[in-house]
A and B are shown apart, each in its own frame.
Chain A
Amino acid sequence: MAFTRRDIISLRAVSPERDVLVCIFQRGAADGLNSVVPYGDPDYAIKRPRIALPSPGETGGVIDLNGFFGLHPALAPIKPLYDAGRLAMVHATGIPHQSRSHFDAQALVEGAVVSKTDLSEGWIGRHLATSQALSESAFRAVSISGNVPFSLTGAIEPIAISGIQEFGLGELTGSTYQALLGDWYEPGAPYSDPAQAAIAAMDELLLANLSGYAAENGAAYPQSELGNKLSQAAQLIKSPLGTEVVCMDVGGWDHHENLPNFLPPALADLAACLQAFDTDMGTRMANITVLVQTEFGRRVADNAASGTDHGTASVAYLLGAGVNGGQVAGNWPGLGDEDLALGEDLRIETDLRTVLDELLRKRLGRADTQQVFPGFTGQPELSLFL
């Protein structure tokens, strides 16, 4: 059952035909309007009297991107990536579901469907289950966590790994002790799928012999949960383990109150992590795409507690050498009263599936996405990828 060393060496981490996909999910509904700020829209400052950020050039002002949008100052570390053409944002985007519940919305967004009756597995799980495997690796789909996000659920058993160095049985890894567990959890036994995948993954990790990780090119990951997760993703992607998709969560975005205090550190961490990952991966970014998304945006108007309640559209970020960067893509619906969804929310102008569809076709080697987004007829693509 165990892989031989030759099998492992024959695996390739980064395929020239297919990007590795890294998905970062901002749990809690991140406020796109104060992240990638439409300072050029006159209604922005009017509707957010307590929390609007100043225009570029003013004290604490946003960092101008294109004369209309500006980055929150805490996102400064990703501005060079934007300028270098490797980072793009899509604004006023989302999956057009009707839920403002975090929990329903996360499931719908991760399923990439608009109705709960269509929820069965995650969009990445569907993609993996219906695409040619690049290897027999247990590590095709990885969650940097003890658990599996809904987006990865499907036919492939993902590896949920919260720490590479802890993923094993100590000196019993690869021993007859482990083999006995494999026999006990034989196919047909309850939970044999995750058990067998865990055992295969332990064997592969043992052979790959990943020791302590040192980032390259002078990259320094923040000492944060996300920094830790991204550096582990980097180590896996650089290894010969055949990882095709890595998912991770970053929490702490549900700012119903005091957004001016709580949002900047969260954005600063995200930006520093993305910058470190891009630096660390260096030329490997030619075959890596990073997607950052959330379950929905927040209300346009702020509330009395200087926070924002649940809304509709938000912003998504795409990073990689294959990204047609340096743009904030998508139509801008406007923030005037007559422009708003439900009379109060940023409207979805770009169905996020349009972006994911282009990503799968141009970067992940899919010819046809109907099995991933059944029934989605699509919008014209935004040319977000090379």
Chain B
Amino acid sequence: MSVSRKLSRRHFLSLTGKGIGYSALAAAASACGGGGGGGAAAALPPNPPAPDPDPDPPPTARIPSPSTAFSVLKRTSFGVSKSSLAAIESIGILPYLAQQLDYGNIDATLVEAAVAAEFPLAASAPAALRPGFPDNIEAVVRDLVGATQYRACFSPRQLYEVMVEFWSNHFSIQLINGFEPVLKPEDDARVIRPHALGNFRDLLFASAKSGAMIYYLDNFLNTAEAPNENYARELLELHTMGVDGGYSEQDIKEVARCFTGWTLDFNTAEFTFVPFFHDDEPKVVLGQSIPAGGGISDGETVLDMIAAHPSTARFIATKLCRRFISDEPASGVVDSVADAFRLSNGDIRVTLEALFVSDEFMLTSDSKLSRPLEFLGQAVRSLNPDLSLPGDRGELLFGVASVLGQLPFYWPTPDGYPDTAAYWGSTGGLLNRWRIALGLSFGSFFPLNALIGAEDTIATIVERLADEVLMRPMAPSDRQLLVDWAVETIGLPADSAIPAAVIPEVLPIIVSLLLSSVYFQLR
């Protein structure tokens, strides 16, 4: 039976839609209707009897664990590549992590030059963007999102880009929100990126004085006459102490008063403090008196208090452990990471070092479901090993992230994208990955032929592709199911050479299955 009769390449192109407008991609993905000509499921050989004597194995028991090097790399990057796996195996895990933490000494010249050339508005100041607003919204969105995704996929500073993404969500600002396309690029360039592996207090101060944040959370409307609590509440709940951090509704009101007059200069769109709008009466925040007449120092005093508050250490540590270890990290490791945060006065590298040396990080794997950005990053890093930009200025990555529901800077509320499988592991979430896997594999975006070298039988092609795409062991029974399926579909024995003309038709469907497999979803 000819593969081409069963699998129409033209059909799969519609699942991804190369070369169409940014906002139209989600619509293009729907061009492929739900009806279809597929036949009923054929009977497949049963699995061999499970030898596992454990009557109630944990969910991952049947999935062979990846190597520690793979697992560490997987959780500290947007995807494992062959070259990065070779590097960590060569220099060792802890030296690799130390190298990644010292990101300034990793040469990213090529990536940054490409970003500057391809996405020139990504780091523009408000003064440069304002004259073109609102006509430039689409260009700004394309460049800021494009630069972010390009760096995530291709930067050698992988851990740094992971932390940029972490803090971009921690201090989440929705890009399509009023004046934000003018303001957010500077927040990215001057607030998040310079401090992502720096000091939390510095990051917090920079965010509090970020025009984009002041606009997003309404602090430009916060005046002595009638305080607006929006920023104060999220500052305590989302940025520092956490909702159970021990502050009261009255504290929120008092913090809001402290930040009255922290606003934007409406000519430059930069931060400015306007004493006329500031409430200069005395305040009490978390039991501490803030005397009258403090001016801008009222807010700065609050930032210092909460940056150093034990609840903040605990809250940040919990989120970091959730990012790097598991959805519900054990309290012991959270405690030790929180201690490192507190004792180092918020040094993010020192805090991460404490996390990375923990048993919970080093001795576990597969505890997390990859989020869509990691699914996409891994696909690119598996299928495009020379790490070159798809020739569309980021349109493919934008469209895929949009379909999968994790477009950078698009989360609508200030809490940032969720970081747990409870959110991402839905029926629709998995199905969207399966659909995107088909689109990425059949869309001619990646040089799939280069992945298999001279292999030409079903058995060897499957083995080679599994290694190239997954870079971790499959259960023998799962691999056998794939081989059996390919034998049945192609109509050739597993160890016979496939005609050269048929190989290009076989590769995408096997790659698509591997991208859809559970192995590819875990981190």
Please report A residues at the B interface, Cβ cutoff 8 Å: 1-2, 27-28, 99-104, 116, 143, 145-148, 153, 157-186, 188-192, 194-195, 197-198, 201-202, 205-206, 209-211, 251, 254, 256-257, 303-305, 307, 309-310, 342
Contacts and interface: CB of A to CB of B under 8 A. Distances in A.
B435 A169 contact: yes
A163 B228 contact: no
A145 B428 CA distance: 8
Nearest to B367: A190
12 contacts: A143-B426, A153-B422, A160-B427, A164-B34, A174-B40, A176-B39, A180-B481, A190-B518, A194-B430, A254-B413, A257-B218, A303-B221
A257 B221 contact: yes
A166 B425 CA distance: 18
Nearest to A197: B427
Nearest to B412: A251
A181 B226 CA distance: 58
Contact of B482 (A174, A178, A180): A180
Given A169-B36, A172-B7, A307-B228, 12 more contacts: A143-B428, A146-B432, A147-B428, A168-B34, A176-B42, A177-B509, A179-B41, A184-B517, A188-B57, A191-B425, A194-B427, A211-B35
Nearest to A160: B428
A289 to B, nearest CB: 24
Interface of B: 7-8, 11-12, 14-15, 29-30, 32-42, 44, 47, 57, 59-63, 218, 221, 223, 225-230, 233, 237, 243-244, 249, 366, 369, 404-405, 412-413, 415, 421-432, 434-435, 438, 478, 481-482, 485, 488-489, 509, 513, 516-518, 521-522
A338 B229 CA distance: 23
B513 A189 contact: no
A95 B203 CA distance: 37
A175 B428 contact: no
A171 B62 contact: no
A192 B430 CA distance: 10
A290 B68 CA distance: 51
A143 B405 CA distance: 15
Contacts of B421: 191
B369 A191 contact: yes
A167 B516 CA distance: 15
A72 B312 CA distance: 42
B425 A185 contact: no
Contact of B518 (A165, A175, A184): A184
Nearest to A301: B226
- Residue of B37, B435, B518 most packed against chain A (CB within 10 A): B518
A247 B225 CA distance: 41
B428 A171 contact: no
Shortest Cβ-Cβ A-B pairs, 5 listed:
A304-B226, A175-B38, A160-B428, A179-B41, A305-B221
A172 B32 CA distance: 11
B35 A206 contact: yes
Contact of B513 (A148, A180, A192, A303): A180
Given A146-B429, A304-B223, A189 B47 contact: no
Contact of B243 (A27, A104, A159, A172): A104
Given A166-B435, A188-B59, A190-B518, A147 B34 contact: no
A162 B485 CA distance: 30
Contact of A174 (B36, B47, B249, B422): B36
Contacts of A197: 427
A195 B228 contact: no
A270 B418 CA distance: 27
A254 B482 CA distance: 50
Contacts of B425: 191, 194
Contact of A206 (B36, B62, B434): B36
A171 B14 CA distance: 12
A176 B41 CA distance: 5
B42 A166 contact: no
A308 to B, nearest CB: 10
Contacts of A310: 229, 233
A255 to B, nearest CB: 10
Contacts of A309: 228-230
A205 B34 contact: yes
Given A169-B435, A176-B44, A310-B229, A184 B481 contact: yes
Nearest to B6: A175
B56 to A, nearest CB: 9
B489 A176 contact: yes
A183 B521 CA distance: 16
A256 B57 CA distance: 50
A188 B475 CA distance: 13
A365 B126 CA distance: 58
A168 B233 CA distance: 42
With most chain A CB atoms within 10 A of its CB, the pick from B29, B61, B62, B226 is: B226
A2 B40 contact: yes
Nearest to B12: A170
Contacts of A143: 426, 428
Contacts of A172: 7, 36, 38, 438
A101 B233 contact: yes
Given A147-B426, A256-B218, A171 B59 contact: no
Nearest to B52: A188
Nearest to B435: A169
A305 B12 CA distance: 51
Contacts of A166: 29-30, 32, 34, 435
B522 to A, nearest CB: 6
A190 B426 contact: no
B216 to A, nearest CB: 11
A229 to B, nearest CB: 13
A99 B247 CA distance: 12
Contact of A161 (B369, B428, B434, B517): B428
Contacts of B42: 176, 179
Given A147-B405, A160-B429, A171 B36 contact: yes
B36 A170 contact: yes
A34 B506 CA distance: 61
A188 B12 CA distance: 31
Contacts of A175: 36, 38-39, 41
Contacts of B415: 102-103
A305 B228 contact: yes
B391 to A, nearest CB: 25
A163 B403 CA distance: 11
A144 to B, nearest CB: 10
Contacts of A257: 218, 221, 228
Given A146-B432, A163-B30, A198-B428, A2 B218 contact: no
B38 A99 contact: no
Given A256-B218, A304-B225, A183 B431 contact: no
A167 B425 CA distance: 16
Contacts of B485: 176-177, 180
Nearest to A105: B243
Contacts of A99: 243
A7 to B, nearest CB: 14
B427 A158 contact: yes
A153 B485 CA distance: 35
Given A145-B428, A189-B62, A206 B34 contact: yes
Contacts of B226: 303-305
A256 B34 contact: no
Given A174-B41, A176-B488, A194-B427, A103 B243 contact: yes
Contacts of B230: 256, 309
Contacts of B431: 167-169, 198, 202
A26 B369 CA distance: 29
B260 to A, nearest CB: 10
A304 B221 contact: yes
Contact of A194 (B227, B426, B522): B426
Nearest to B442: A170
A179 to B, nearest CB: 4
Given A179-B42, A310-B229, A210 B518 contact: no
B427 A186 contact: no
A171 B11 contact: yes
